[in-house]
């Protein structure tokens, strides 16, 4: 148990539980600092936030970077339906309940997808949302009808297939790594992917985030976010096109800022300082 004083935990949270699953957390920064929850995407772990966290910690914020479902080794259900959006949101909500105060929420890639949903469903628990690389789901899906976004998202269909995606990364590593490199990943990121995802036996459960899509409902698909929001996108993003970015503002009914960086999809790993500065600036501006 973590003791609580006036809404602040007086101990580090290195793990939390939900429905028998154990989720790992990297908790850093001053214990009394304002809390920030950081959600990683595919195919990375909570470690992808290390440099960003250091900058945020230096400015007095306390960061909680979660290894989410499928990535925490104690939370790897095999059923595809276990990765539907409601489960992914409920996992993070369990940590928010433990923190016991509103947080600054930051998500990248799939972590951004979850962050948008949390901001919609639990606005009272979120002071400010930062979504990195991936816009609101409605903007993303609408763009598929009027741009090349569907073509850019070809891999989402590929990842629905059983076994073949795992074989690509486990049996044909040169091909798998070359595909990731083509998205702008650095050699260090590719090394981390091999070590932390493939070698650590996380690849199948990480892919289940895509395989869980058919089980996710769209009840809240067009609901607007009603908390202050910062959206950051890289102009050289190979997975998310400009059309969905242009549509994004329509789904935020709150102070909204949009930044286009000279960057790839992998902003937290490659542009940590700029990302941190933009987050802090936007929080202070909207306070």
Annotated catalytic sites, by residue?
A: 109, 210, 265
- Residue pair 286/258 in contact (Cβ under 8 Å)? The answer is no
What are residue 131's DSSP bridge partners? 107, 231
DSSP secondary-structure letter at 1? Answer: -
Nearest residue to 251 via CA among 141, 85, 137: 137
**Which CA distances in Å does 17 have to 84, 108, 280, 284?**
18, 23, 30, 33
Nearest residue to 283 via CA among 59, 51, 54, 49: 59
Q: Alpha-carbon distance 110 to 218, whole Å?
A: 16
Nearest residue to 109 via CA among 261, 232, 223, 262: 232
- Residue pair 140/117 in contact (Cβ under 8 Å)? The answer is no
């Amino acid at each position: 148990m973590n003791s609580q004083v006036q809404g602040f935990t007086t101990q580090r949270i290195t793990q939390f539980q939900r429905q028998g699953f154990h989720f790992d957390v990297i908790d850093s920064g001053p214990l009394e600092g304002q809390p920030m929850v950081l959600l990683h995407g595919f195919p990375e772990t909570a470690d992808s936030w290390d440099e960003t966290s250091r900058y945020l910690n230096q400015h007095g914020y306390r960061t909680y970077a979660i290894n989410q479902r499928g990535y925490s080794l104690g939370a790897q259900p095999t059923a595809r339906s276990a990765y539907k959006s409601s489960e992914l949101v409920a996992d993070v909500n369990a940590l928010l309940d433990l923190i016991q105060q509103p947080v600054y929420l930051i998500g990248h890639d799939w972590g951004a997808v979850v962050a948008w949903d949390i901001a919609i469903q639990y606005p009272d628990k979120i002071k400010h949302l930062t979504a990195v690389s991936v816009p609101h789901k409605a903007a993303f899906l609408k763009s598929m009808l009027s741009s090349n976004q569907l073509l850019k998202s070809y891999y989402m269909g590929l990842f629905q297939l059983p076994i073949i995606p795992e074989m690509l990364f486990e049996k044909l590593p040169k091909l798998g790594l070359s595909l990731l490199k083509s998205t702008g990943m650095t050699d260090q990121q590719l090394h981390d992917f091999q070590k932390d995802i493939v070698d650590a036996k996380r690849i199948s459960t990480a892919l289940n985030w895509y395989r869980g899509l058919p089980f996710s409902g769209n009840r809240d698909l067009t609901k607007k976010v009603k908390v202050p929001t910062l959206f950051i996108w890289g102009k050289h993003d190979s997975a998310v096109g400009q059309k969905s970015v242009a549509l994004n503002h329509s789904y935020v009914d709150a102070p909204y800022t949009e930044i286009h960086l000279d960057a790839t999809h992998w902003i937290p790993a490659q542009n940590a300082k700029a990302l941190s500065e933009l987050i802090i600036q936007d929080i202070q501006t909207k306070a």
